[in-house]
Amino acid sequence: MEKIGIALGAGGARGLAHILMLETLDELGLKPAYVSGTSVGAIAGVLYCSGMTGKELRELFSELIVSERNRVTNLFNFKWLDFITPRFEGAGLLKTENFIKFLFKLINERTFEELDIPLFVVTSNFWTREEVVFKSGGLVSVIQASISLPGIFAPVLIDHNVLIDGGAVNPVPFDILPNDCDLTIAIDVIGHRTAGQDLMPSLTEAVFNTFQIMEKSITRQKLRVVCPDIYIEPYISDVRVLEFHKAEHVFRQAEPAKDRLKRELEKRIE
């Protein structure tokens, strides 16, 4: 069996598409040797590497999501609203400590070494502007740092380093997978926006979309230098970073990409 490495990219709510890609591996009886993740990809990665299946991840997220018909807020339209705390000082509007505590109640593992599958998580050092990859030690603060979108979520201090969202340096981290991978898969969920819109963005929309413009540019430049064996970019449109209530919409839009990944893998393992 080939050693498979899969990279799960940044993309906020669009990262729900990662679940379908992980389902594909499960359905084909394939277990990756390595997983790398940035931001929401780190969340999907740590849950999957702890032993949860793609199907279990879909069930988990479906249970947490509040229907769009019943939404109570325009910012976070899902039950995780209870786990996100306003922040009135510092470099972020919101704190993620409660969400992280909730996340780690779902799994027993607290260190990288305890995971079933080796995981590599990307963060960004705010002051040095460099990529910082974690593959050992404690998980909790690292995952929190990897999802700390600048200006929205508070940065995280680890070993005297101020760390923020890994998407600032490496949105689709296929290049950090170990060299002994026989097959590398990259899942890019940065997504697409409807062209031709002339509406002026809100403050949060301006922050989020500017960050995504940067992420897309980084990924485009990296692909000119090195490419994974399989590159999958689900066509996910009109889903903003925090619109997790659109889970079913994301799942539907990601189905063609899931089928594409399945066909690619079947060709490789024949």
The C-alpha atoms of residue 7 and residue 159 are separated, in whole angstroms, by 26
pLDDT of residue 61: 84
User: Of 22-26, 59-63, 251-255, which gets the smallest average pLDDT?
Assistant: 59-63
Domains of the chain: 4-262 (3.40.1090.10)
Residue with tokens 């018909």: 69
- Residue 37 tokens read as 């993740």
Angle between helices 247-269 and 17-27 in degrees, nearest 10: 30
Checking if the pLDDT of 77 tops 80, the result is no
Mean pLDDT, rounded, for 15-19: 97
